[in-house]
Amino acid sequence: MGIFRKDKDKPVRPTGPEEVTANAADEAEQEEEYTDINAAVTESSSESQNESDGMEEIYSTHDKRIKYKRLAPIEEEAALKRKAATKRELVRGKLEFSSDGGYIAPEVELEAEIAPDAVVAEDIIEDVHEVKSLRSVYIQDIDEIDISLDPMENLREYERRATDKERYEERHTPKVVIPYQSTGEKIVSRVPMYQHDSKIEKIFLKAGKFTEVVESEYDEYLRSDDPTISKNYHAMQKAIKPRQSLLFTLSQMAQKRKEEAEQHKEQKVQKEVRENFDEEPAPIQKKKPSAVGRFFRVIGTLVTHSFATQSAKTNSNSSDYNSREDEQYVLNDIKENIKHLAIHTVVFGLIAVTMLVLQILIGSLTDKTRESIGVGGAVLICGVNLLLTLGMGVVARGYVVDGLRPLARLSGNSDTGFALAYTGCLLQSIVAMFAAPTFINGEHHLYSFVAAFALMLNTLGRLLMAIRVKSNFSFITSHSPAYAAKIYKDEETARRMVSGTTASKGVVAYQHVTRFLSDFLKISYAPDPSEEVSGKVTPITVISSLFVTVVYAIIFKSIPGTVSALSVMLCISVPFTALLAGNIPMLLFSKRMLKEGAMVAGYPSVRQFCDTSAVMVSAAELFPKGCVRLDEIVPYQRLRVDENLLMAAAILREANSPIAPVFDELVQENSGRLPNVESAIYEDKSGLVGWINGERVLVGNMTLMNRYHITIPDRGTITKNKQVTYVAVSGQAVAMLLLRYLPSNISMPQLQRAEDHGLAFVVSTPDPNVTAEMIAEAYGIFYRSVKIMPTGYANTIDEVTSKVEETSRAYLATRGRVSSLARAVGGCIGIKSNITLGIVIEIFGLVLGVLLCATLALYSSVARLSIVELMIYILFWAAATIIAELIRRP
């Protein structure tokens, strides 16, 4: 069997064999002729048999008879073309033919697989599973097969033909299902009803595929997206609501309310749990304390709070900043420390001022007034002094205990001098209660004020240290990248690097990226040399004080005088600026470095970098983006200029050349894409040689061009006061770049100050234009302070500066600018010399004070050593120590 379509353009003339009857010939003239399109799909056996005759068999769908026509040569060619086109359409799975009227031919192909007199509809439908019982299917036209499935008619036909009682009962047994859109509805399902996804009236089938197509369509129906079809393979009849009594309805409503109440209760409980555990509770409104309450709270804090000394903090690793999770804890601890130190400084200052007023009051008493107040008034004044001394001891008990403890090992710390002075003043205050008139009449003097003043200065020094730690902690906990400063360990290589420069030692500093800065608190709270020296000097001053006291007792034979001599000798032996001399310059230096993008944690950082003689620098850091400007470009070619310059830009960026940013605009115009660089090598004092896509790219000076026999055309361009760089690709000159190198306004003062501290700069560069003379002229430094490294050493510099460490010790850190590193390292060199100078002045004043007090006490008794003379001497040397450290800016 075949399906045919009209072909009005090519009518078929009835020329055939004698087997064609006259009646058939008449009908052929009246009928519309058909062209067989089945021949374009398969090469049938009938076509091969009639090939010798040149005849084509035509099957008529009207009279079920075979007709023939003879193919002309031109028709054969057209048939072959149609055959090829039809095969291509069949490969895509769709074959459509349209006539001039826009009629879409049905995509059906029927073959004679059954006899012409067979009942096609019943036989084929019987073979389809799930549809065998549908007997009402009929074929209206063999050309266009219509399938009509009436569910009610099918049901009646099925019931008439049913002979099996169980089958009949099974098909009529109602099945209750719950539809997907409603609840409580009863649906009675009976017989499947065919419903296509889209509204269609006909199904077009290919010959021989009738059974498969019908079965496939029915399977697709069963897999419909509609749940009433896919879940229930039966037709849906009208939904019938079950009859419900009023009692049942009320019970359902009550059950629903109960469930809603339980759900609301559960949500309320969960909300309370979240508020108690997951979320922060609402702030509690506290009553504002009264002034009296605040006063007693401060007093309680002063009495109950025990401060750990700095040495204890240094030896405590558990409280250090060890990970990012400790950030808030450490910050709170630092803030709490600052708060208590500030309170203590104020309290010690008030005590000192009160004692000073008391001493001034005693000194202003006349003989008549002393006689009028008598012994009771003298005892009262000495009692007030004793109470103030005891209160000072209670607040500063931690310092006193920590200062006296090392004496058992004949050593000391920064608190030892104060602890001894306080002990002597406390002993004198107790003795003064039994000899009050002698202290009021001017024969002896109370020296507790000196101990209070020394304690106030030392506490102020600790407060400045805590403020410095807080500022530096904000630097290392920020989310900006951190670069840790290091000293290059290979001393021999470092010595060769700095040879020929002004550097005297082979100590070279560099920096690299680090992810975490460790040991921050340990380094920050470490004692400075002033504290260390005071701890070493204190045992000597103690021995001297005891010696003077014994001699005084032998000479004057007075217990109040002996105690006063011991007290004054211990007070003058206190290093008043032990903590101020180191922390004031360190705080100012740290604040200045933070503004310039660097962090110096403490004096161990100064000790680590104070011997540095040079800093590793790259040319790209000396001349960052914007410092190299392109004044003019002279092209030597007209073709592929942009492409060749992009290749040069890729080579420059690969080598980290300072010229690379010049091509940023060109790169952006090409969507930021650069060709892949296969290799790039820097030839000393010449330029870069690279390979891209098999082409050699040269970027350098005339020496490099001559070495590779590149001819540079003479354009007569003025190149005076400009740096020239040539670009050549594949042996041909591409362009000449006229460049200007400008110094960084931010880096210039920092490099100049670093050079003032004796630092040199070892530079790695892939740019032959960057020379020591050019850098020295641009930045205003001595040319012997700069050295350009050859390729081998330059590779070493690039290797150590480009590595990334997970953890580095927080001695010195920057944000990546080499100028900040040079400034910080140079500052470490300068501040060490300043602190050393301050220590020398402090020790000199301390020794001189001990000698003067000892001389005056033994020569004319302690009555000559009043508070006024002592304070003038102490303030003078304290100011001299601090001013000497701050004169020269590090």
Report pLDDT digits (tens) over 97-135: 444 444 444 444 444 444 555 544 444 444 444 444 444
Joined together, the tokens standing for residue 63 give: 């009279």
Of the pLDDT bands very low, low, confident and very high (cuts 50, 70, 90), residue 779 is: very high
Q: What is the pLDDT of residues 39-56, one digit of tens each?
A: 433 443 444 444 444 444
**Helices 448-476 and 367-395, axial angle in degrees (round to 10):** 30
Of residues 760 and 890, more confidence is placed in: 760
Which has the higher per-residue pLDDT, 238 or 80?
80
More confident residue, 696 or 364: 696
Residue 159 has what pLDDT? 58
Confidence band for 74, pLDDT divided at 50, 70 and 90: low
Give the C-alpha separation, 413 to 489, whole Å. 33
> What is the average pLDDT score of the chain?
76
- pLDDT band, residue 301 (cuts 50/70/90): low
| pLDDT-derived band at 261, boundaries 50, 70, 90 | confident
Instruction: Output the pLDDT for position 40.
Output: 37
Quick one: pLDDT at residue 91? 55
Is the pLDDT reported for residue 223 higher than 80?
Answer: no
**For 146-163, what is the mean pLDDT?**
54
pLDDT at 10 over 80: no
In whole angstroms, give the CA distance from residue 311 to residue 244: 87
Interval 554-609: pLDDT, tens: 998 889 999 999 999 999 999 888 888 889 999 999 999 999 999 999 999 999 99
Q: Any idea which of 103-112, 400-409, 777-786 has the lowest mean pLDDT? A: 103-112
Beta bridge partners of 466: none
pLDDT bin (cut points 50, 70, 90) of residue 288 is low
**What's the whole-number mean pLDDT along residues 623-646?**
88
DSSP annotation of 38 reads G
Q: What is the pLDDT of residue 82?
A: 73
- pLDDT band of 413, cuts 50, 70, 90: confident
- What is the DSSP code string of 521-545? HHHHTSPPHHHHHHHHHHHHHHHHH
Q: Which of 276-285, 442-451, 512-521 has the lowest mean pLDDT?
A: 276-285
pLDDT tens digits, 428-440: 999 999 999 888 8
What's the confidence (pLDDT) of residue 253?
66
Is the confidence at residue 886, as pLDDT, over 70? Answer: yes
What average pLDDT does this structure show over 80-97?
Answer: 63
Q: What is the dihedral of CA 80, 85, 90, 93, to 10 degrees?
A: -170
Interval 448-462: pLDDT, tens: 999 999 999 999 999
Across 250-264, 331-345, 645-659, least confident range: 250-264
Q: Report the pLDDT averaged over residues 291-312.
A: 48
The model's confidence at residue 76, banded by pLDDT at 50, 70 and 90, is low
Q: Which two tokens stand for residue 283?
A: 């702030």
Lowest mean pLDDT among 255-264, 307-316, 616-625: 307-316
Confidence of residue 189 (pLDDT cuts 50, 70, 90): very low
Residue 9: pLDDT over 60: no
Q: Looking at 297-311, 495-509, 797-811, which range is the least confident one? A: 297-311
Which two tokens mark 154? Answer: 């099918």
Among residues 741, 666, 653, 664, which one has the least CA distance to residue 699?
653
Tokens at 251, concatenated: 């019970």
Q: What percent of the chain has pLDDT over 90?
A: 39
Specify the higher pLDDT residue, 696 or 237: 696
Looking at the chain, the whole-number percentage of residues with pLDDT higher than 70 is 66
- 228-232, 238-242, 689-693 — which one is most confidently predicted on average? 689-693
DSSP letter (8 states) at residue 104: B
Q: What is the 3-state composition of the chain as percent helix, strand, coil, each rounded to the nearest 5?
A: 55, 10, 35
Tens of pLDDT, residues 140-150: 444 444 444 45
**pLDDT of 613 over the 70 cut:** yes
Is the pLDDT reported for residue 415 higher than 50? yes
Q: Which phi and psi angles does 35 have, rounded to 5°?
A: -110, 130
Q: Determine how β-strand 679-683 pairs with β-strand 687-692.
A: antiparallel
Report how far residue 450's alpha carbon sits from residue 101's, in angstroms, rounded to the nearest whole number.
120
Average pLDDT over every residue of 852-856:
90
φ, ψ of residue 171 to 5 degrees: the values are -70, -25
Q: How many CB atoms lie within 10 A of CB 845?
A: 21
* Residue 544 or 147, more confident: 544
Evaluate whether 219 touches 164 at the Cβ level (below 8 Å).
no
